[in-house]
């Protein structure tokens, strides 16, 4: 037997065995990392309620644009048609969606609004016509016509926007912010336009 060839062959086998151990260790580490990521990855649930024009998804702490738009539409339709008769119904459904820090204030406002409508015998209705989602602010805007009717007075029509920030907590929606105003959706672009318009008007007044 050629001792030189045997030693060279032995060294090659030893090197190959060492590289195999390193490869196995690397594969084991990669498998452990993948398993950790799989266990900690947020579970996504795909849904398609009747109000959605396209499928949406819900995660533990996030949701798709279409899901938030659907909730914004449902909330606007509830709040746009509130009165003394259905206040309890709306409060029971809206209450669980509100964080504790805004729950009391908003419920107080809603109750006062319903009492005022009942005292003046005013009926209202809201007809949504457009939904806008602004990704940069994560806001949902529901725009439409708001109608009010008082005894002996012709029905009045105005613009109205319901503005929401809708978050997720343990797969459940949370209404983090609600705003209502008689105007088109106040997106960041529109707010900037209104700011410039106000500045120009101020400059003209100075001149």
- What residues does each domain of the chain span? 45-206
Quickly name the fold that domain 45-206 has: Nuclear Transport Factor 2; Chain: A, (3.10.450)
- Least Cα distance to 127 among 150, 160, 102, 97 occurs for 160
- Across 126-140, average pLDDT: 95
pLDDT grade for 176, boundaries at 50, 70 and 90: very high
What pLDDT shows up at residue 39? 47
What pLDDT shows up at residue 24? 56
DSSP 154: P
pTM (2 d.p.): 0.74
Alpha carbon dihedral 179, 181, 184, 185, in 10-degree steps, equals -10
What pLDDT shows up at residue 91? 86
- Across 26-45, average pLDDT: 55
Mean pLDDT for the chain overall: 80
Sign of the CA dihedral 199, 184, 119, 91?
A: negative
- Across 94-99, average pLDDT: 90
């Amino acid at each position: 037997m050629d001792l030189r060839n045997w030693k060279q062959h032995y060294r090659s086998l030893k090197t190959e065995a060492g590289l195999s151990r390193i490869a196995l260790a690397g594969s084991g580490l990669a498998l452990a990392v993948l398993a950790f990521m799989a266990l900690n990855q947020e579970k996504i649930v795909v849904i398609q309620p009747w109000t959605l024009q396209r499928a949406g998804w819900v995660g533990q702490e996030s949701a798709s644009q279409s899901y938030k738009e659907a909730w914004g539409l449902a909330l606007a339709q509830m709040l746009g048609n509130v009165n003394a008769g259905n206040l309890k119904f709306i409060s029971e459904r809206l209450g669980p969606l509100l964080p504790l820090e805004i729950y009391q204030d908003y419920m107080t406002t809603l109750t006062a609004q319903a009492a005022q409508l009942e005292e003046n015998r005013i009926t209202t209705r809201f007809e949504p016509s457009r939904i806008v989602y602004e990704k940069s602010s994560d806001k949902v805007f529901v725009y439409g016509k708001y109608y009010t009717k008082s005894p002996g007075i012709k029905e009045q029509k105005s613009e109205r926007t319901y503005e929401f920030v809708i978050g997720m907590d343990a797969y459940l929606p949370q209404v983090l912010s609600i705003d209502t105003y008689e105007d088109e959706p106040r997106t960041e672009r529109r707010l900037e336009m209104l700011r410039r318009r106000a500045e120009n008007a101020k400059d003209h007044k100075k001149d």
